Structure 1
Amino acid sequence: MSASAVFEDLIGQPLANPYKEALFARESLLEQSLSAYQAVLTPNAPGLWSHDLRAALGFRIATLTNSLAAAGGIRKYAARRVFDGWLQNVANATVIAYSDAPAWLNAALDYTDTLTLRTHTASQSLIEALRQHGVSDEDCVKLAELVATLSYQIRLIVGFQALQA
C-alpha cells in the first residue's frame, strides 16, 4: 500500500485534487512521515510504553485537541486495538490522574496533557517527575518521541481534513 493510500485511510476519505497531486509529488516525504508514525506507535522495543498504551495516549492527544476524526485514524492505524479498562479512560481523557494507578502512569499523563494543551508551561519538572517514579531516561525519550510525533501527525491529518471540507 502506498504512503498516499495509507494517508487517505488515516484521514478517512480520498484526497481531492490538487492535494492528491501534491502528495504524490512528495511521496517520499509522506513515506518518511508515516514511517515515523508507525515507529512510535508500534516499535520493536516499546520499553515501558506498550503498543496498547501508545495507541491510548495517541487517542488521548487527539481527544484533548478535539481531533476525534484523527483519533479514529490513530485507533485504526494502531493495529485496530480495543481499549479496555483503564486504557479506555486514558484514551478518552476522562480522568486526569488515577488514585489506583502506578505513579509513573500519572506522571506520564501529566507530561502528555501538558505538552498537548499547555506546551508553554512545560518544564524540566515533568521529566523529573517521570524519573522520580522510576521511568528510565530511555523511556523518557520514548515518551517525548511519542507525544511529539503523534501531535505532529494529528495536526497534519486535521489540516488535510480541513482542506478537504
Structure 2
Amino acid sequence: MPQVQPLPGDFAVTSVRGQVGLLISVGEWLNGSRFGHWDHAFVYVGDDQLVEAEPGGARLANLDEYQGRPVAWSTGHVELTEEQRTAIVAAARSFIGVPYSAADYLALALWHFHLRIAWARTVMASRRSMICSELCDAAYDVAGVHLFSDGREPGDVTPADLANVIGAA
C-alpha cells in the first residue's frame, strides 16, 4: 500500500469514507474548512500496524485498512532519532482506548472563531479524549518532538495542519 515505506513513529494523513467521513466533514465545516481533504491521521507503530483515534476510541489497526486511499506520510519530512521513534510508538500505544469526543471538534471550532474560552483550551489540551490529529501531535509531544512552532495551544491541531507540516496540503 504505501508508496513510501514508513518507519515506526511516522505519521500519515488520509481521507475517510462513509458516515464517519460525513461527520468529519461537518467538523471541517464548523472549523472553517481547515481540514481540507485530509480528514484523518494516524501513527505508524511498525509491523504493518498503526494507532488511530476513532469514534469508538483510539485503537490498534492494520495498515492495509487504508489500501486504495490517498495517504501522505511524514517519512522524509520530519527527521526523528531512533530514541524519538521509540518514544512516539510507546506514547501512541499508551493512547489505545482513549475516547474520541465531539467536544474536541467543538473546542477547535470555537478556537477557530476566536472564542478563546477556558473550556475550549481545557478540552483541546486534555488527553482524556482526542481526535486523530490530537493523538498524533500528543504522541510526538510526549517524545519531545514539537511539530509546530507557531505558538498554538496544545491540541489545536487538525489533519490539515499535519498535512501542512509534511507539505501535503
The answer, yes or no, to whether TM exceeds 0.5 is no
- With normalisation by structure 1, the TM-score equals 0.28
Q: If each structure's strand is expressed as a fraction of its own residues, which one has the higher value? A: 2
Q: Which has the larger radius of gyration?
A: 1
